[in-house]
Amino acid sequence: MNPEAATGRLVLAATPLGNPGDASPRLRDALATADVIAAEDTRRLRNLASSLQVSVVGRIISHYDAVEAARLPGLLDEVRAGRTVVVVTDAGMPVVSDPGYRIVAAAAAADLPVTCLPGPSAVTTALVVSGLPCDRFCFDGFAPRRAGERRRWLETLRTERRAVVFFESPHRLAETLAAAVDVLGAERSGAVCRELTKTHEEIRRGPLAELADWSAAEQVRGEITVVLAGAAPDAPTPEELVGEVADRVAGGERLKDAVAAVAEAAGVSKRELYNAALTSTN
């Protein structure tokens, strides 16, 4: 028996962002064999099953933000009774800015089996098409709605070296990007990813100023994921590099050669570094 079809477990299942062709065979099997499917939107779940030509034989119940807490005890009882409960959201991975966290935490606390069917995620999809360095990144969910909170949030990103991914409503995108220009600077790079994997997918890349102008001029629609480049590291001061120069001199290099090598690598003035090195030895 496949692990996904085994009874007595909670299964978090990623669903396509927009293109049904991205559904995995494991997702199809889970939808066809689950005893209970807890769906953020039951109508969308039925439409997805229909597009995948999957016959759902299990019970389908709604599982969105407003009812998530109330549904929790009953769903855990289903797992305790030896049944498979599959949790799906409208698109992408449950829990990631979608319902699912409460039931996963409760199931783990009750020592009930929890597994995941990996698959589509707007976060990682946006990252890889952004064209920005993303070997290290953080995800900040939805941008704050209120102007003051949004500005305070952007202030925390001034020195964030990792790429930052967040979701935004198309109706607030222009306002958020304009605030990002004010706080993070016009030249900070970013990417706006719209309708990922869908027919009208669009990726806009460039400095924040250009993205802000575009979003203000266009009537942007659809699901939006934004990626911001990490902050550039501050250049070290000559005084901070004196120790490195001293180490090279101690290793046998001439002071002039050590200064030239360190200055070039750090992008600082050779003259300023040389003077700082001389001052430190006096």
pLDDT, tens digit, for every residue of 165-211? 999 999 999 999 999 999 999 999 999 999 999 999 999 999 999 99
- Asked if CATH classification 3.40.1010.10 holds for the domain at 3-120, the reply, yes or no, is yes
Query: Spelled out in words, what is the top-level CATH class assigned to the domain 123-228?
Result: alpha beta
Instruction: Place 7 in a pLDDT band, splitting at 50, 70 and 90.
Output: low
CA nearest 216: which of 178, 166, 167? 178
Domain range list for the chain: 3-120, 123-228, 238-281
CB distance 185 to 175 below 8 Å: no
From residue 271, alpha-carbon distances to 274, 275, 278 in Å are 5, 6, 11
Q: What is the pTM of this model?
A: 0.80
Tens-digit pLDDT profile for residues 13-47: 999 999 999 999 999 999 999 999 999 999 999 99
Nearest by Cα to 230 from 153, 181, 159 = 159
Q: Give the single-character DSSP code of 5.
A: G
Q: Mean pLDDT check: name the lowest of 17-21, 149-153, 229-233.
A: 229-233
257-279 average pLDDT score: 89
Q: Confidence class of residue 67 from pLDDT cuts 50, 70 and 90?
A: very high
pLDDT at residue 145 greater than cutoff 90: yes
Instruction: Note the pLDDT of residue 102.
Output: 96
List Cβ neighbours of 145 (8 Å cut-off, separation of 6 or more): 172
First-to-final CA distance of the chain: 77
